Amino acid sequence: MMKKNTIFKGIATALITPMDEAGINYNQLGNLIDWQIGEGIDALVICGTTGEASTLTDEEHRSAISFAVQHTAGRVPVIAGTGSNDTAYALDLTEFACKAGADGMLVVTPYYNKATQKGLIKMFTEIADRSTKPIILYNVPSRTGVNIEPETFQVLAEHENIVGIKEANGNISKIVDTMARVQGKLDLYSGNDDQIVPLMALGGIGCISVVSNVLPALTREICTRFFNGDIAGSRELQLKLHPLIEALFCEVNPIPVKAAMAAMGFCRDYLRMPLTSMEEENRAKLLSLMRTYGLKV
Residues known to be catalytic: 138, 166
C-alpha to C-alpha distances, 77 to 43, 74, 276, nearest whole angstrom:
5, 7, 31
Q: Which helix (H) or strand (E) holds 47?
A: none
Nearest Cα neighbor of 105 from 76, 151, 130, 137 is 137
Residue type, 123: M
Residues 6+ positions from 4 with CB-CB distance below 8 Å: none
Backbone angles phi, psi at 59, to 5 degrees: -65, -45
Q: Which helix (H) or strand (E) holds 226?
A: helix 216-227
C-alpha to C-alpha distances, 260 to 56, 240, 277, nearest whole angstrom:
21, 18, 11
Please list the alpha-helical segments (H only) found in 26-86. 26-38, 58-72
